[in-house]
Every structure is written in C-alpha cells, then in structure tokens.
Homo-oligomer: A and B are copies of this chain.
Amino acid sequence: MTVAAATQPAARTVHIMPAAHTRQLTPVAPLKTSCSSCHLRDLCLPCGMNTPDVERLDSLMFGRRRVLAGQTLYREGDKFQFIYAVRAGTLKSSLMLADGREQVSGFHIAGELVGLDGAAQGHHASATMALEDTEICAIPYSHLTDLAANASGGMQHIITRLMSREIMREHSLMMLLGSMNAEERLAAFLVNLSQRYAARGYSEREFHLRMSRAEIGSYLGMKLETVSRTFSAFQAQRFLDVDKRHVRIIDMDGLKRRIEVQVH
C-alpha cells in the first residue's frame, strides 16, 4: 500500500470555490459565536430546536477557531472534550490500521458536526484534518451535556439524534463499501456531495472537490487510479465534465439511476 503520500502532506493547496468567507477573518482572540444569528442554524446543531433551547445554546458561547489547510483538528487518541461544527471549509476524518493504511471515514462541510466518535471512550477514535482553510466552532461537550440535563427534554434528544444521524451516515457508507462497484460508489459520492452543497445554497451541479483522488479512493474503498478512471468513464458516458478537481454534473438523473440507494 502506498497511500502514504496522502498521510502527511506538508502543505495543501487552497482551493477557492464556494467559500469566500474563509479568507478575511479577524484572526485575533477566538471569537465567540451565537447560534441564533448563525446562517447555518438550520443545518447545524440548533436544527430542530425551539427558540429557548437555542438561546441556552448561545449562552455557552462557543469558541471559534481557524484550522489551516493540512492542519489537524484532533488526532486519534486525543482526549475527547469538544465536538466541532464546521462554519466554513472542509474537514476530513480518517482511521488508521496498525500497518499505516488509512481509511477516510468522512468529509465534512459547513454546518456539519464532527468529533462525536470520542464520546464512547473519552478519546477520539479517528483523526480529523482540514482540507482547506477551515473555520469551526468548538463546542465543549461537558457544557452540552450539562445543558441537556437542565434544558427542556428536547435538548437531550438533539444530541441523541445527532449521533443517530452519524450512525445512519455510516450505514450508507457500509452499504456502499459492501455492495457497490466502482461506478456506483463514485456516483453515490458525487450525488451525496451535490445534495449537501445544494442544501447550503451552492450549485448542485458544479463544484470543486476539496480532496485528492487518493482521499476519495480511500473513502470509497478503491485505489486512486480507479477513481481517476471512473471519472473518465463518467465523462465518456456524458454524465459529467471533470477537470482535475472541478466537476460539472451534466446528467444528474443518470448518476442517480446508478445508485438507487434506499437506506432511508
């Protein structure tokens, strides 16, 4: 195995596609953030909460932080203290085999939460790193559970639902890894990404991939060459245009027909 190249990149090129907000930031003292005024509130943690609960959330005053491209948010084995909400940018989570093989377990964009995997053991089971300059909210887990204990019952349920959602996310990935071929995998990946971008107001048909072919391959359980060939095959079949990391989907229905995953 030689995914080694992807394991510890000295620095990563920064891509500039949807996100302009990553660039100009007051880089000084960690800003405090309020959920109620956040443009991501309907996608992120507060989603589904009632107003008083969101206000309680605000009272926690999450710290905001920047993670530069290639930097690590937490490593495997790190103490579990925070869960993180992505405000802008892209993160990648991965697991390691003893022999150094890496398995990417997820890519996370604005409004998504990472780090919940640490709750079982008190330390993180995966590592998470930024694929581009990324801004996150660090949510102290202990504060969140305190809140759940005191707030209206709904709050407790929110945490549970978040974790359950994570379980479902992994279900789909298992499905994909266990019973799909290369074209189905890549199609599923692109359709999923497209939908997540769309939910955030970006184009569902045209976007920049923030991850390398090797990272996509690791996530989808295939080699980078196979990813590359499958992209070319899709282009030949007129499902999409690809130019390196720039993707334009021409025939969304065609892609979707390749997968038909139910996993509701």
Show the binding face of A for B, using Cβ within 8 Å.
1, 76-77, 95-99, 101-103, 105, 116-121, 125-126, 145-146, 148-149, 153, 156-157, 159-161, 163-168, 170-171, 173-175, 177-179, 218-221, 260-264
Contact B117 A171 (CB under 8 A): yes
Contact B116 A164 (CB under 8 A): yes
What 4 A-B pairs have minimum CB-CB distances, sorted nearest first?
A120-B164, A177-B177, A119-B164, A178-B221
With contacts A95-B171, A149-B149, A179-B218 known, what are 20 further pairs, Cβ within 8 A?
A: A76-B262, A95-B174, A95-B175, A97-B260, A103-B175, A103-B179, A117-B171, A119-B164, A120-B164, A120-B168, A121-B164, A125-B171, A145-B157, A146-B153, A160-B163, A163-B166, A170-B174, A177-B221, A178-B220, A179-B221
Contact B164 A117 (CB under 8 A): yes
Residues in B whose Cβ lies below 8 Å from that of A175 = 95, 97, 103
A139 to B: closest C-beta gap in Å: 14
Contact B145 A156 (CB under 8 A): yes
Q: When the two chains form the complex, which single residue of B96, B116, B153, B263 contacts A145, counting CB atoms closer than 8 Å? A: B153
Contact B264 A76 (CB under 8 A): yes
- Would you give 13 A-B contacts (Cβ < 8 Å), ordered by A? A76-B262, A116-B164, A119-B161, A119-B164, A121-B264, A146-B153, A159-B160, A160-B163, A163-B166, A167-B167, A170-B170, A177-B177, A178-B218
Task: Using A99-B260, A103-B174, A263-B95 as known contacts, say yes or no to A125 and B168 having CB atoms under 8 A apart.
Answer: yes
A213 to B: closest C-beta gap in Å: 15
A235 to B: closest C-beta gap in Å: 25
Contact B261 A98 (CB under 8 A): yes
Complex formed: what's the CA distance from A177 to B171 in Å? 12
Counting every copy of the chain, the complex holds 2
Contact B76 A120 (CB under 8 A): no
Residues in B whose Cβ lies below 8 Å from that of A102 = 179
A84 to B: closest C-beta gap in Å: 15
Complex formed: what's the CA distance from A248 to B166 in Å? 36
Contact B163 A167 (CB under 8 A): yes
Residues in B whose Cβ lies below 8 Å from that of A166 = 163, 167
Residues in B whose Cβ lies below 8 Å from that of A220 = 178
Of A160, A161, A165, most B-chain CB atoms within 10 Å: A160
A174 to B: closest C-beta gap in Å: 6
